[in-house]
Structure 1
Amino acid sequence: MATRRRSGRRPDPNEEAFNQAEKRAYDHPMFRPLLFDGYPRARFRWVDDEELAEARGWARVAGGGEIVVDRRRRADAEEWYWVITHCLLHLGFGHLDGDPARRNDPAAVAAACLAVARFQLDARLGRPPRPLPVPLPGGAEERLAADWRQRGVPPEYLDCGVGGHGSDLVQPVAPARRWVAPPVAGTRWQTWPERFAVGLAAAASAAVEAAGTPKPGPNGVARDNPWERARRWFVSSYPLLGALAAGFRIVADVELARSWEIAVAAVDAYAGEIYVNPLRVLPERQCRFVLAHEMLHAALRHGDRVAHRDPYLWNVATDYVINGWLVEMAVGEMPDGLLYDPQLRGLSSEAVYDRLATDLRRHRKLATLRGPGRGDILGHGAPGPGEARRGVDLDEYYRRALTGGLRYHQSSGRGLLPAGLVAEIRVLDEPPPPWDVQLARWFDERFPARERRRSYARPSRRQAATPDIPRPGWHRPEEEERRPTFGVLLDTSGSMSARLMGRALGAVAGYATARDVPAARVVFCDAVAYDAGYLPVEEIAGRVRVRGRGGTVLQPGVRLLERADDFPADGPILVITDGECDVLRIRRDHAFLVPRGARLPFSPRGPVFRMS
């Protein structure tokens, strides 16, 4: 029986070789900014080009970044890699910028191709499909072009390019694409040479890392970079933020900015790093404004103060406040398009948030320095060695840096500061009240103490000096009175230590007894919710028998209390957990008693008491 022939065409070896070379160019850090970032981007068109075929060329490049490749020319992967990188280097060297008449100047085109070929030979970017004269002449490209205009281009240097007998540089052969605005107003797209410079620096850093030596530069960017100059300006000339600027590290990485979708800048307070997009060009004065903005985000701990609020809307509110301060202090120059409203002057971040919360749909379209719909305050998820660099507590470091800078700023007479900023720095200088004091205040707000009265019906002990004078004694009237109660949702998972539960239950029982709360509804919860019913508060800490000790799913316990007929609908609930839980749907104001440093996997609406 005859065998059936396989369907489909056989793969073209020439096309496979081109695809390998194209992928190799996309993976090279030197050419990544030209192919991925900015506008326009370099792109390839695999076509049948009669004009290119007649000139016996492989490819040509246009100013819009389009590279036309003749599919009929044969080459291996190394030769195609030479052709592709040759066209990309024309863009990176700026040969298609400036005067369009240069593309029709044979001397200028020949000198440009020669300069690109010398770079390719030095960097070992593939193998030329046509043998080149050895050695290639040295000298500057402009000098060679001027010399060849007078004496004529030597014949052996006419074919150093990849466009054949014609020019490698042509006008766009396809209609120009619609112009795309930058994601953040006030910035511009980088030119081809600027993007190539970023890629060249990335390739150099990659080569240094591959060699096993550390990256050059203390802050990840060159000393003459505008971001680094702006950081040094704070250290030398602005004492309020000088200590902060000295402790932060600026990270300018194209791949990181692309993966985290950072349009201009973002900050990670835990890593002590400010991430900037090197493809966004800003003057030095605007870089100062952006750096001061991100440093204040971190130092004022805006990421930890979000509490029950929407994280992005809270980020927007703090942006309004910080930008207002910086404009008032005249720190640098604010880039166009940032969040600023003079009518919000003097308001706190919480007050601005309350205003924004009235129209969530409209305000979610506002853009931070990271871009529309994305906050520039990063959390624990951002990698980085910053936390290991610090030898003190993070809160202590930011507190010292800001309060010390404020004292030096005021003592040296460097000018007035916004009252709101000074007030927030003063708050940082005062340590927060202990957790048990905060818990006691919570009980005072929800369970007012019963009023005691003096009465002669129960006289007090008479004094020895005046035994004939009776004095009234303290007593509480014995009358029916409806007293409030509360619920206790105790996380009894295996991660909760007995010491933590003992301290928490002891404090709860003590404060409840002092405020004459008769009983509390106790629910133990791990994988299953166990209802212990109403227990006298004096017995909570001493006679409670813990059930469970499995995993942690607290939502059934919350649902049990909310649906209980004998529990008031507006009754407060105190959740005691170590943070390793999955409570995600909280519909009323609950209070949380957690260890210091624990991170809750949800946004609580009520207060959080952190046990030290």
Structure 2
Amino acid sequence: MARKNIEMDPATKQFNEGLEFINRHPMFAPLASHAQFVRKEGNLCPDQGWAVVTKNGQIHIHPKKRATSQEWIYILAHCLLHLGFGHFQEKERQDLWNTACDSFVAKFLWDMKLGKPPAEMDSGIDYSVKSEEELYRIFLENGVPSGLTILGTAGQGYSDMHLRSPQSHWDRKVDWPDCFGKGLAMAVSSAVKVTAGYEAFLGAEKEALTQAQKAKNWFMNSYPLLGALAADFKIIEDPLLCQRLSISIAAVDVEMKEIYMNPAAGLDEQENRFVMAHEILHVGLRHHARAEGRDPYLWNVACDYVINHWLMEMGLGAFPRVGGLFDPELKGLSAETIYDRIVTDIRLYRKLATFRGVGLGDIMEPQTPDWWNRKDGASLDEFYRSALSQGLVYHEEQNRGLLPAGLVEEIKALAQPPIAWDVELAKWFDHYFSPIEKIRTYARVSRRQSSTPDIPRPRWIPNAGDEEGRTFGVVLDTSGSMDSKLLAKALGAIASYSISRDVPLVRVLFCDAAVYDQGYMAPEDIADRVAVKGRGGTVIQPAIDLLETAEDFPRKGPLLIITDGYCDRLTIRREHAYILPKGQHLPFVPRGKVFRI
């Protein structure tokens, strides 16, 4: 037979709410934890009273009195303050001493605005005394004013302090004033935290800040380098969501402006600062957009090593005890250099764990792969760069601490406007094809000057033989997925720069599923209409092998590969570069210079 639910009577419910508040209040919690609350028939409380307190810390409450929770808060606090203030002293006039102590406690609670006194105990308190002793001497000399005889919790005519406790197993030797002193210290500390927003006001519905939210507030208030970026991101602390997304500690979603912090990781505030700074730096340093064809996870691992080294040097927070990537041997290396080392042993580094987990990058992949090509994506990128640059300026102006030189260098580099792809391509030509030295010769004289027609003038011509070997190979992806506009722009730029750098001939190969060798072509012919062959599948490796083994192609001639990125793994043994559409990546290919149209 099922048991019926027994509803709590309203009087008991109100008392329990008041007692729970006292137990949670920082000032009264140490006193309440050592006291015993007795609310049963036959206790020491008089019939007309509310409660009395004994010397050993027992508080006897009337079992049938009805009061609101605020009134019970006032009554219980009154009794506990008798213990905390050390009022249990034997005096010549014990009744006057009890009244003096009641008056002093009532004034204290009135100033605290704690609880609400019952109607029969509510009396105007318009005096100011330094101590109970002074008030006791006044009562001895002048008597007790009528309005102060109703301030005790035992009722008028009764004492609410019992010096002699009844015989009971409850007999503790407690330093009550010391407990009250600890409570006062806790109350002051709690008041500061409530004012700062780190802790909820007692009894309020507002939730206290979590460790991650405290870390975010610290960045906004005390660390200008990352404060602007931290303010723009939303902190998500949902353990179920983190479990569904396989986030063991933290991750960042650049597109959604969200940082996921898994509360199940159990990080303290200092560890939260470290992890949050780590995720913010991923965004500020544009690691999501700088992969440029690299494997996303391995690139994430390389960036993690760099960021964690910087954060350790800066002394920002504490390295999490639950995980993270740190290797002293990689100190001072760039993310690109570390990535090049990682790809030589992919099996080992595939087993490493970022803050998201093993084999997963803590930079969340965007829901729309080409989101940064849209207008809002471009504005986000500009915001991240400007926020980090301004933060660096504020950080240095306010002398907030030393920063690693590598981090400062990267932030300043991000502040510079991006270089156009054709300008970068021109620099590539300058690197491989420096201007040909010119000499003066009389073999082919220049025009004579009108003022001295009898004097021949030498002409400046390129030094004979310097043009030999000034060539390079162009591998053109002519598969069906290749954009014709990309081909036109790339070939036009190649022809223009080849002519200006005195490149006489260019070796051109078309390739889709097969290789079509066009042989050497003059730059002027490349700029003209070219009959592109192919438009089938994409196989680039045979074209590269042909150029590298061709006897009529210079051994040090560089390669320029024009593709849309949809190709297999490549093996290239000479200097090379790629021309790619924006937003496309080259999976599993050797690292080379990339120009994005």
Normalised by the length of structure 1, the TM-score is 0.58
Secondary structure at 1:521 match in 2 = strand
Q: Tell me the residue number matched to 1:451.
A: 437
Q: Tell me the residue number matched to 2:585.
A: 599
The residue type equivalent to 2:457 in the other structure is R
The residue type equivalent to 2:500 in the other structure is A
Match of 1:410 among 393, 396, 401: 396
Q: Tell me the residue number matched to 2:277.
A: 292
Residue 313 and residue 388 in structure 1: after superposition, are their counterparts in 2 closer, same or farther (change >3 A)?
closer
Matches within 5 A, 1:41-52: none
Residue 554 and residue 230 in structure 1: after superposition, are their counterparts in 2 closer, same or farther (change >3 A)?
same
Q: Once the two structures are superposed, what CA deviation does each residue of 1:306-325 show, in whole Å capped at 9, x if it has no partner? A: 45766555434433332232
Residues 519 and 536, structure 1, Cα contact 8 Å, conserved in 2: yes
Name the count of aligned residue pairs: 410
The residue type equivalent to 2:219 in the other structure is F
Q: Tell me the residue number matched to 2:180.
A: none
Q: Does 1:368 align with 2:239?
A: no
Q: Does 1:238 align with 2:109?
A: no
Q: Does 1:302 align with 2:173?
A: no
Q: Tell me the residue number matched to 1:21.
A: none
User: How far apart are residue 576 of structure 1 and its match?
Assistant: 1.8
Match of 1:280 among 265, 273, 282: 265
Q: Once the two structures are superposed, what CA deviation does each residue of 1:135-163 show, in whole Å capped at 9, x if it has no partner? A: 565868999xx99xx99xxxxxxxxxxxx
User: How far apart are residue 578 of structure 1 and its match?
Assistant: 3.2
Residue 603 and residue 358 in structure 1: after superposition, are their counterparts in 2 closer, same or farther (change >3 A)?
closer
Which stretch of the first structure deviates more once superposed, 292-301 or 439-448?
439-448
Q: Does 1:401 align with 2:401?
A: no
Distance 1:351 1:324 in 2: 15
Residues 324 and 353, structure 2, Cα contact 8 Å, conserved in 1: yes
User: How far apart are residue 551 of structure 1 and its match?
Assistant: 5.1
User: How far apart are residue 405 of structure 1 and its match?
Assistant: 1.1
Q: Tell me the residue number matched to 1:492.
A: 478
Residue 412 and residue 471 in structure 1: after superposition, are their counterparts in 2 closer, same or farther (change >3 A)?
same
Q: Tell me the residue number matched to 1:379.
A: 365
Q: Tell me the residue number matched to 1:174.
A: none
Q: Does 1:508 align with 2:379?
A: no
Q: Tell me the residue number matched to 2:47.
A: none
Which stretch of the first structure deviates more once superposed, 280-289 or 341-350?
341-350
Normalised by the length of structure 2, the TM-score is 0.59
Secondary structure at 2:444 match in 1 = strand
Which stretch of the first structure deviates more once superposed, 365-374 or 233-242?
365-374
The residue type equivalent to 2:398 in the other structure is S
Residue 416 and residue 468 in structure 1: after superposition, are their counterparts in 2 closer, same or farther (change >3 A)?
farther
Residue 357 and residue 263 in structure 1: after superposition, are their counterparts in 2 closer, same or farther (change >3 A)?
same
Q: Name the % identity.
A: 53
- Give me the CA root mean square deviation: 4.0
Residue 496 and residue 338 in structure 1: after superposition, are their counterparts in 2 closer, same or farther (change >3 A)?
closer
Secondary structure at 2:596 match in 1 = strand
Distance 2:592 2:371 in 1: 33
Distance 1:387 1:520 in 2: 33
Q: Tell me the residue number matched to 2:211.
A: 226
Q: Once the two structures are superposed, what CA deviation does each residue of 1:517-563 show, in whole Å capped at 9, x if it has no partner? A: 33223233345543333322210121311234455454554455456
Q: Tell me the residue number matched to 2:253.
A: 268
Q: Does 1:252 align with 2:237?
A: yes
Residue 531 and residue 362 in structure 1: after superposition, are their counterparts in 2 closer, same or farther (change >3 A)?
closer
Q: Does 1:427 align with 2:413?
A: yes
The residue type equivalent to 1:298 in the other structure is V
Distance 1:134 1:359 in 2: 66
Residues 307 and 605, structure 1, Cα contact 8 Å, conserved in 2: no
User: How far apart are residue 290 of structure 1 and its match?
Assistant: 0.4
User: How far apart are residue 607 of structure 1 and its match?
Assistant: 0.8
User: How far apart are residue 292 of structure 1 and its match?
Assistant: 0.4
Q: Does 1:587 align with 2:556?
A: no
Distance 1:590 1:222 in 2: 58
The residue type equivalent to 1:226 in the other structure is Q
Residues 513 and 538, structure 1, Cα contact 8 Å, conserved in 2: yes
Q: Once the two structures are superposed, what CA deviation does each residue of 1:413-454 show, in whole Å capped at 9, x if it has no partner? A: 333322221111110111232211211222222334432211
Residues 293 and 587, structure 2, Cα contact 8 Å, conserved in 1: no
Distance 1:224 1:573 in 2: 57
The residue type equivalent to 2:279 in the other structure is E
Which structure would you say has the larger Rg?
A: 2
Distance 1:395 1:281 in 2: 32
Residues 346 and 419, structure 1, Cα contact 8 Å, conserved in 2: no
User: How far apart are residue 287 of structure 1 and its match?
Assistant: 0.6
User: How far apart are residue 244 of structure 1 and its match?
Assistant: 0.7
Secondary structure at 1:545 match in 2 = coil
Secondary structure at 2:411 match in 1 = helix
Secondary structure at 2:443 match in 1 = strand
Secondary structure at 2:386 match in 1 = helix
User: How far apart are residue 266 of structure 1 and its match?
Assistant: 1.9
Residues 491 and 577, structure 1, Cα contact 8 Å, conserved in 2: yes
Q: Tell me the residue number matched to 1:156.
A: none
Q: Tell me the residue number matched to 1:472.
A: 458
Structure 2 residue runs of 5 or longer lacking an equivalent are 21-35, 42-205
Q: Does 1:609 align with 2:595?
A: yes
Residues 495 and 578, structure 1, Cα contact 8 Å, conserved in 2: yes
Q: Tell me the residue number matched to 1:523.
A: 509
Structure 1 residue runs of 5 or longer lacking an equivalent are 1-129, 152-220
Residue 394 and residue 470 in structure 1: after superposition, are their counterparts in 2 closer, same or farther (change >3 A)?
farther
Distance 2:475 2:343 in 1: 30
User: How far apart are residue 473 of structure 1 and its match?
Assistant: 1.4
